[in-house]
Amino acid sequence: MTELVTATARLAGKQQGQEFTVELPGEPTVCPQLVVTPAVAVDLDTDRPYFTGGVRLTHVGTGRSVESDWRSHRLHKLAQMLTDQLPDFDWDFTDIGHFYAHPTKRDAAYVVIREWHMSDAQQGPVNFMDDDEKTKAARESDPAGTLLAEQLDWWVKHAESYTNGLDWDNPDHQRARMAEIGVSCQGYSTIYLLAVLRAIDPKVADIAARDLVAAWDAGDALGEWVWQWRQEFADGKPLGLRGIPARDLLIDFTV
């Protein structure tokens, strides 16, 4: 059985430069300077610490969070990846500005952490129930490009057909027309945002496309995810986007 250690987490307060320290139990990892601790924050109105849920990979020397997750085994995996892929990286430091004083080290850590995020993406074949073998193969070789082509074809066909047979003087037909316009707008949004993401980061676009196909095909968790993201967004937390790298890495080490 792994024995717990004690780690000091340092949390930012309301005032510039204000800092709080909290002693927390931690699970040792393969790197002595990185431990898995409960995730905590400070209530800025009362200055009281509280558990936020989830766990963090805490750097012992600075008390700052390297990354967070809901699953401790994921953070143990990150510690292992950082150790294996950066064997010469010395984590024994106490200056929170260490990464910005050593940009080469920071960039190397970024690469590993980004890879760790993406390793949580949907695994295995992802396709619609009625996909033929050619389409299944295309989804594996070019997930985002295949979905984008499908959405473009769908939108054109939908635009050509949705007004056929509608009586503009019939109130029911007018309501149907407004509903179809809404569907067209949502389809356009999917096309545009997927195309933008594919231009910026093709690998992340592929992860997103695979998740979309899996979610649409299953159809049973769309509402659950939207409600979760809505709450996370309202609370100012990062949205739980599986396999999508965070925009700001090592943010706790910003001076």
Do 108 and 154 belong to one domain?
no
| Confidence band, pLDDT 50/70/90 cuts, at residue 255 | low
pLDDT band at 157 (very low <50, low <70, confident <90, very high): confident
Q: CB atoms < 10 A from the CB of 239, how many?
A: 12
Same domain, 100 and 138: no
For residue 77, being part of any structural domain is answered with: yes
E strand map for the chain? 5-12, 19-28, 34-43, 48-59, 65-69
Domain count, the chain: 2
Q: Are residues 96 and 152 in the same domain?
A: no
Residues 116, 186, single domain; the answer is: no
Cβ burial, residue 20 (10 Å; 0-12/13-18/19+): middle
Question: Could you report the per-residue pLDDT of 65-102, keeping only the tens digit for each?
Answer: 999 999 999 999 999 999 999 999 999 999 888 888 88
**For residue 141, pLDDT beyond 80:** yes
> Containing domain of residue 203, as a range?
133-219
